[in-house]
Amino acid sequence: MDGILVIRKEKGYTSHDVVAKLRGILHMKKIGHTGTLDPAAEGVLPVALGRGTRLVELLTEKEKTYEAVLRLGVSTDTQDMTGTILSEKPVTVTEEEVRETVASFVGEQMQVPPMYSALKVGGKKLYELAREGKTIERKPRPVVFYEIRILDMDLPLVRISVTCSKGTYIRTLCNDIGEKLGCGGAMEELLRTQSGNFTLEESMTLSQVEEAVANGTIGERIVSIEDVLSMYPALICTPEGDRLLGNGNPVPEELVQGGSREEKVRMYKSSGNFTGIYGWDERNRNIVPVRMFFVLNFLQKLAGADMEYLKIDGEFPRLSGSAVTLGKF
């Protein structure tokens, strides 16, 4: 199985818990998630399977959308309601003041990561230091709030929808809104409704995955690598360029049908077989590999017949070492 399985993470599980359980359910080891969700949070968690794990870096970069409940009038050490309450204040602000303050966070912001986070400082995770009673200085990081909408307001509770860049902490946003209003604030609930192009509607709980495996329909729920990369234009090699492509080598523009000078394109052999992502190299005037998905034949020498699934058009391509991983998404 190669591709993406869209999981609906339930409360109480870490993202690593989900991966561990899927390894048992699907009986495969090569699985990785594409964006951490706190145990108290729930929602969309795209999980990469097999060759799809080479998509993790790309998918982690994508913007995400959340629904969160902000409770005004309270501040905690974790910036959500699972933590220890540090202060409580009466909420005397008006709904209009809340709307103006929330709107002020839209756009580029510098956000200070919370102490209770998995970020590492000096090789140690921040939440480990926080549990030891230590607080260290954290440098603000650039984040972008593309949209923040108020869905419902019944003070002191405010339900918001947030679309943001990677690496954004919604509980820190809740804390910062509360601070700006002067009464404090903490996140009470968090639901990720979208990650990149993956939505809550297409997600599956772990129990639903087990059912799909049992009735043989799990393959229908896996999003193929090609579908995930469908935002990139497709190029097809000429028969003369197939060997270069099969070896993971740069391909001259004249050996590509309908040549494209896009930053990233999906490359196919003349037979229609997808091989990987290529990009235009202006300096050398050719199309070069960025990330290969179906060309790793050097492993054939290491594992022989066990690597049958790596064959393209019934045979192992010859691979130059440069094609293993070139560049980043």
> How many CB atoms sit inside 10 A of residue 258's CB?
8
Answer whether residue 270 shows pLDDT above 80: yes
pLDDT at position 17, please? Answer: 94
pLDDT at position 222, please? Answer: 95
Q: Which domains does the chain have, with CATH numbers?
A: 3-62+197-226 (3.30.2350.10), 65-195 (3.30.2350.10), 232-323 (2.30.130.10)
Write the pLDDT tens digit of every residue in 131-168.
777 777 788 999 999 999 999 999 999 999 999 999 89
Contact 213, 25 (CB under 8 A): yes
**Identity of residue 221:** R
Helix (H, G, I), strand (E, B) or coil at 174: helix
Q: Which carries the bigger pLDDT value, residue 185 or residue 235? A: 185
Interval 210-231 mean pLDDT: 93
Concerning whether 38 is annotated as a catalytic residue, the answer is: yes
pLDDT at position 295, please? Answer: 53
Mean of per-residue pLDDT scores for the chain? 85
Answer whether residue 312 shows pLDDT above 60: no
CB within 8 A of 258, min separation 6: which ones?
235, 236
Answer whether residue 307 shows pLDDT above 50: no
> How many CB atoms sit inside 10 A of residue 169's CB?
23
Contact 86, 76 (CB under 8 A): yes
pLDDT at position 296, please? Answer: 44
| Global pTM value | 0.81
Which of 29, 10, 11 has its CA nearest to residue 19? 29
pLDDT at position 134, please? Answer: 76
Interval 240-263 mean pLDDT: 83
Q: Which carries the bigger pLDDT value, residue 70 or residue 290? A: 70
pLDDT at position 315, please? Answer: 41
Helix (H, G, I), strand (E, B) or coil at 203: coil
Give me the DSSP letters along 278-325. EEEETTTTEEEEEEESS--THHHHHHGGGGGGG-BTTBPPP--GGGS-
Answer whether residue 193 shows pLDDT above 50: yes
User: Given 2, 38, 80, 242, which residue is catalytic?
Assistant: 38
**Residue 77 pLDDT level (bands cut at 50, 70, 90):** very high
Helix (H, G, I), strand (E, B) or coil at 193: strand
pLDDT at position 173, please? Answer: 97
Contact 127, 171 (CB under 8 A): no
Interval 259-282 mean pLDDT: 85
pLDDT at position 122, please? Answer: 72
pLDDT at position 36, please? Answer: 83
Interval 27-53 mean pLDDT: 91
Backbone angles phi, psi at 262, to 5 degrees: -70, 160
